[in-house]
Structure 1
Amino acid sequence: MDERRQTRAMGVELPLGSDPQSVRKRIEAMEMLLERSFRIPGINYPVGLDAIAGLVPVVGDVVTAAMGAYIVWEARNLGMPKWKLWRMAGNVAFDTAVGAIPVAGDAFDLLFRSNTRNLKIVRKHLDKHHPETRIIEG
């Protein structure tokens, strides 16, 4: 029997363990929710909760900033270097600050994907320090 516990959320199995592979899956699921969970009909452009919630003044930006901070917190639990964590936090802070500007910030949220950038930083770290978590994408 597999010792890793899992929970089911929105049709996706999310592991509850603290091992690098479980953390990677949770971060990937959060990034997918925030950046690529829907497609704009007609142009087939992926958007996520970050761009959609950003349409709600203040509250939407605060909620998505907290969700982006969760990715940074999970990265901290992996033992990533502080400079990488600061870079990730800077991505979230920049996205939140510019995203809070009415109208222009909403357009910016469609183009600047801080959570995708942070996932890339985490993946690079995990591929180097925990190669067993690498997933071959096809």
Structure 2
Amino acid sequence: MRSTFTATPADIEPKWFIVDAEGMVLGRLATEIARIIRGKHKPIFTPHMDTGDNVIVINASKVKVTGRKAEQKNYFRHTGYMGHELYTKFSTMLAKHPERVIEKAVFGMLPKTALGRQKLRLKLRVYADAQHPHAAQKPESLTFPKAEAK
């Protein structure tokens, strides 16, 4: 009888990947990024351990959405005061803070636990243009064929 494999810190070797978001569909891209951040692409995946890899996303300002989401999608936040609900349109958020669009999409696909928040904070780096300061990590390029806009 064999026991279930559980990863230990010695088993975990995080890699660095770079993704170019230019022309990709937001939801499909976020799904693949969340999968890599969680580590579900690895055979040593363990739900309660951080077995994921680091992801750098460049050209976040050039991400696409399908249908009429560009006009209809809103981002909600609350100031903490009664009745102070703030809604920001997708087009405004993409123009002012393109990094947040991808961060919010990936956050929605991660578990709502302390480990999920930690993975988002430590393993995802999003940049609006093609410049990033992580050349020393020698990131491998990733492409997702399903995520490209038609």
Structure 1 length-normalised TM = 0.28
Higher relative strand content: 2
Please tell me whether Structure 1 or Structure 2 has the larger radius of gyration of its CA atoms: 2
The structure where helix makes up a greater share of residues is 1
- The TM-score with structure 2 as length reference comes to 0.26
Q: Give the number of the structure with larger relative contact order, counting CA–CA contacts within 8 Å between residues 6 or more apart.
A: 2
